[in-house]
Amino acid sequence: MKLLEIRDLLKCEVLSGEHKLDTDVTKCLTSDMMSDVLAFAEPGALLVTGLTNSQSVRTADVADACAILYIRGKKPDEGALHLAELMGLPVLATDLGMFDVSGILCASGLEGIC
């Protein structure tokens, strides 16, 4: 699934990385616990989180995530967004909650990471 499809499915706002919306998303990892992200991540996964500080961006980078999707209408501060841009990580945001995001992506064929 492409980030472009995810943007459309979840009615996301693209906060950075518009030019990378053709990126393939292989799996999805949803968590607000960055230790879980590091423990279970797989390269190319989409990180779905409500944690909007720079730690989520650093964790996504270390975990080799393809992008970050912030949920519940949350958006990162300018520092975190700037860091994501420097790291080349696309950043999206949706008003949907984690449960809804997970269900929609699963129903659309994207596999999750436990």
Burial 21-42 (b: 16+ CB within 10 A, else e): bebebebbbbbeebeebeeebe
As beta bridge partners, residue 46 has: 28, 67
pTM of this prediction exceeds 0.85 = yes
Vertex 100: Cα angle to 97 and 103 (nearest 5)? 145
Task: Go through the domains of the chain in sequence order and give each one's CATH number.
Answer: 3-112 (3.40.1390.20)
What pLDDT does residue 29 have? 96
**What confidence category does residue 109 fall into, taking pLDDT thresholds of 50, 70 and 90?**
very high
6 neighbors 90 (Cβ within 8 angstroms): no
- Cα–Cα distances in angstroms (integers) from residue 99 to residues 1, 84, 92, in the given order: 19, 25, 17
> pLDDT of 46-62, one tens digit each?
999 999 999 999 999 99
Q: What are phi and psi of 36, to 5 degrees?
A: -65, -40
84 neighbors 65 (Cβ within 8 angstroms): no
Q: Which two tokens stand for residue 27?
A: 């799996």
Q: Which two tokens stand for residue 33?
A: 């616990």
